[in-house]
Protein backbone atom coordinates (compact mmCIF):
# COMPACT_ATOMS: atom_id res chain seq x y z
CA UNK A 1 0.00 0.00 0.00
CA UNK A 2 2.80 2.43 0.90
CA UNK A 3 4.60 1.60 -2.34
CA UNK A 4 1.47 2.44 -4.35
CA UNK A 5 1.11 5.77 -2.54
CA UNK A 6 4.79 6.51 -3.19
CA UNK A 7 4.32 5.65 -6.88
CA UNK A 8 1.29 7.95 -7.11
CA UNK A 9 3.18 10.78 -5.39
CA UNK A 10 6.21 10.27 -7.67
CA UNK A 11 3.95 10.24 -10.74
CA UNK A 12 2.17 13.41 -9.55
CA UNK A 13 5.54 15.09 -8.94
CA UNK A 14 6.76 14.18 -12.44
CA UNK A 15 3.53 15.55 -13.96
CA UNK A 16 3.81 18.80 -11.99
CA UNK A 17 7.46 19.27 -12.98
CA UNK A 18 6.65 18.50 -16.61
CA UNK A 19 3.79 20.99 -16.66
CA UNK A 20 5.94 23.63 -14.98
CA UNK A 21 8.76 23.20 -17.46
CA UNK A 22 6.33 23.28 -20.34
CA UNK A 23 4.59 26.39 -19.04
CA UNK A 24 7.90 28.24 -18.74
CA UNK A 25 9.07 27.07 -22.15
CA UNK A 26 12.06 25.18 -20.79
CA UNK A 27 11.33 21.87 -22.48
CA UNK A 28 10.97 22.67 -26.16
CA UNK A 29 10.97 26.14 -27.64
CA UNK A 30 9.09 26.68 -30.86
CA UNK A 31 11.45 27.54 -33.69
CA UNK A 32 11.03 31.09 -34.98
CA UNK A 33 10.16 31.53 -38.63
CA UNK A 34 12.38 33.52 -40.99
CA UNK A 35 10.08 36.55 -40.85
CA UNK A 36 9.88 36.43 -37.03
CA UNK A 37 13.62 35.92 -36.56
CA UNK A 38 14.67 38.69 -38.96
CA UNK A 39 11.83 41.22 -38.57
CA UNK A 40 13.04 44.79 -38.79
CA UNK A 41 16.43 43.84 -40.23
CA UNK A 42 17.65 45.99 -43.10
CA UNK A 43 19.64 44.78 -46.12
CA UNK A 44 21.44 46.70 -48.86
CA UNK A 45 22.62 46.02 -52.40
CA UNK A 46 24.96 48.46 -54.18
CA UNK A 47 25.68 52.17 -53.72
CA UNK A 48 24.19 55.27 -55.40
CA UNK A 49 27.58 56.06 -56.96
CA UNK A 50 27.45 52.65 -58.69
CA UNK A 51 24.08 53.51 -60.21
CA UNK A 52 21.98 50.98 -58.30
CA UNK A 53 21.08 50.81 -54.64
CA UNK A 54 18.35 48.68 -53.13
CA UNK A 55 17.34 48.54 -49.48
CA UNK A 56 15.06 45.74 -48.27
CA UNK A 57 13.53 45.58 -44.82
CA UNK A 58 12.06 42.32 -43.57
CA UNK A 59 8.73 42.54 -41.80
CA UNK A 60 7.15 39.94 -39.51
CA UNK A 61 3.81 39.80 -41.29
CA UNK A 62 3.16 37.22 -44.00
CA UNK A 63 0.67 39.62 -45.58
CA UNK A 64 3.39 42.30 -45.79
CA UNK A 65 6.69 40.33 -45.77
CA UNK A 66 9.08 43.10 -46.81
CA UNK A 67 9.42 46.58 -48.21
CA UNK A 68 11.99 48.01 -50.59
CA UNK A 69 13.64 51.29 -51.54
CA UNK A 70 15.28 51.44 -55.00
CA UNK A 71 17.52 54.37 -55.93
CA UNK A 72 16.29 56.32 -58.97
CA UNK A 73 19.45 57.77 -60.56
CA UNK A 74 17.56 60.17 -62.83
CA UNK A 75 15.66 61.88 -60.02
CA UNK A 76 18.19 61.34 -57.22
CA UNK A 77 15.60 59.81 -54.89
CA UNK A 78 14.36 56.39 -53.77
CA UNK A 79 11.28 54.63 -55.09
CA UNK A 80 9.49 53.01 -52.15
CA UNK A 81 7.19 50.02 -52.29
CA UNK A 82 5.64 47.55 -49.92
CA UNK A 83 5.83 44.17 -51.62
CA UNK A 84 2.22 43.47 -50.63
CA UNK A 85 1.24 46.37 -52.93
CA UNK A 86 3.13 44.91 -55.91
CA UNK A 87 0.49 42.30 -56.67
CA UNK A 88 -0.88 39.14 -55.15
CA UNK A 89 1.66 38.08 -52.50
CA UNK A 90 1.84 34.59 -51.01
CA UNK A 91 4.38 33.31 -48.49
CA UNK A 92 4.96 29.75 -49.68
CA UNK A 93 7.56 28.77 -47.09
CA UNK A 94 8.64 30.48 -43.86
CA UNK A 95 11.20 28.40 -41.98
CA UNK A 96 13.99 29.37 -39.59
CA UNK A 97 16.55 30.43 -42.21
CA UNK A 98 14.55 30.44 -45.44
CA UNK A 99 11.52 32.25 -46.79
CA UNK A 100 9.95 31.78 -50.20
CA UNK A 101 7.50 34.40 -51.48
CA UNK A 102 5.42 34.25 -54.65
CA UNK A 103 4.39 37.56 -56.20
CA UNK A 104 1.82 37.33 -58.95
CA UNK A 105 2.01 40.18 -61.45
CA UNK A 106 -0.96 39.05 -63.55
CA UNK A 107 -2.69 35.82 -64.63
CA UNK A 108 0.32 34.72 -66.74
CA UNK A 109 3.34 36.08 -64.86
CA UNK A 110 4.73 35.61 -61.38
CA UNK A 111 8.03 35.64 -59.55
CA UNK A 112 9.26 33.53 -56.66
CA UNK A 113 11.77 35.09 -54.27
CA UNK A 114 13.80 32.66 -52.18
CA UNK A 115 15.79 34.29 -49.39
CA UNK A 116 18.28 32.75 -46.99
CA UNK A 117 20.60 34.42 -44.51
CA UNK A 118 24.19 33.48 -43.80
CA UNK A 119 25.65 35.80 -41.18
CA UNK A 120 25.55 39.35 -42.56
CA UNK A 121 24.60 38.27 -46.08
CA UNK A 122 21.12 37.65 -47.45
CA UNK A 123 21.15 35.45 -50.54
CA UNK A 124 18.24 36.09 -52.89
CA UNK A 125 17.14 34.01 -55.84
CA UNK A 126 14.41 35.41 -58.07
CA UNK A 127 12.76 32.95 -60.42
CA UNK A 128 10.55 34.61 -63.03
CA UNK A 129 7.75 32.61 -64.66
CA UNK A 130 5.57 33.24 -67.68
CA UNK A 131 2.63 30.94 -68.36
CA UNK A 132 3.96 28.52 -65.73
CA UNK A 133 7.44 28.20 -67.28
CA UNK A 134 10.66 29.45 -65.75
CA UNK A 135 12.03 32.15 -68.06
CA UNK A 136 14.75 33.73 -65.92
CA UNK A 137 16.66 33.12 -62.70
CA UNK A 138 18.60 35.90 -61.02
CA UNK A 139 20.82 35.61 -57.95
CA UNK A 140 22.15 38.43 -55.83
CA UNK A 141 23.44 39.11 -52.33
CA UNK A 142 22.36 41.91 -50.00
CA UNK A 143 24.44 42.85 -46.98
CA UNK A 144 23.10 43.68 -43.53
CA UNK A 145 23.16 47.41 -42.92
CA UNK A 146 22.31 49.74 -40.11
CA UNK A 147 21.64 52.73 -42.37
CA UNK A 148 18.59 54.75 -41.39
CA UNK A 149 15.99 54.45 -44.16
CA UNK A 150 14.05 57.29 -42.55
CA UNK A 151 16.83 59.57 -43.85
CA UNK A 152 16.39 58.46 -47.49
CA UNK A 153 14.84 60.96 -49.88
CA UNK A 154 11.75 59.20 -51.21
CA UNK A 155 10.45 60.17 -54.65
CA UNK A 156 7.08 61.86 -54.72
CA UNK A 157 4.47 60.04 -56.78
pLDDT by 10s per residue, the chain, length 157? 555 655 565 554 455 555 555 555 544 567 888 989 889 999 999 887 787 899 999 987 887 888 989 998 888 899 998 876 656 788 899 998 899 999 888 888 999 999 999 999 999 999 999 998 999 999 999 999 999 999 999 998 7
> What gap in Å lies between CA 110 and CA 127, rounded to an integer?
9
- From the number of C-beta atoms within 10 Å of its C-beta (0-12, 13-18, 19+), residue 101 rates as buried
End-to-end CA distance of the chain: 83
- CA-nearest of 86, 130, 82, 137 to 110 is 130
pTM of the complete model: 0.73
Q: Are strands 98-104 and 88-95 parallel, antiparallel or unpaired?
A: antiparallel
> What gap in Å lies between CA 80 and CA 76, rounded to an integer?
13
Amino acid sequence: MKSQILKIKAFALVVIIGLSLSAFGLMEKKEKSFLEAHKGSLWKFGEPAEGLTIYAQINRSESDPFEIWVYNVLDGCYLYERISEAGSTEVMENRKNKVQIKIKENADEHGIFTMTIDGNAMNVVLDSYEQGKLVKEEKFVLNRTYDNVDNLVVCKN
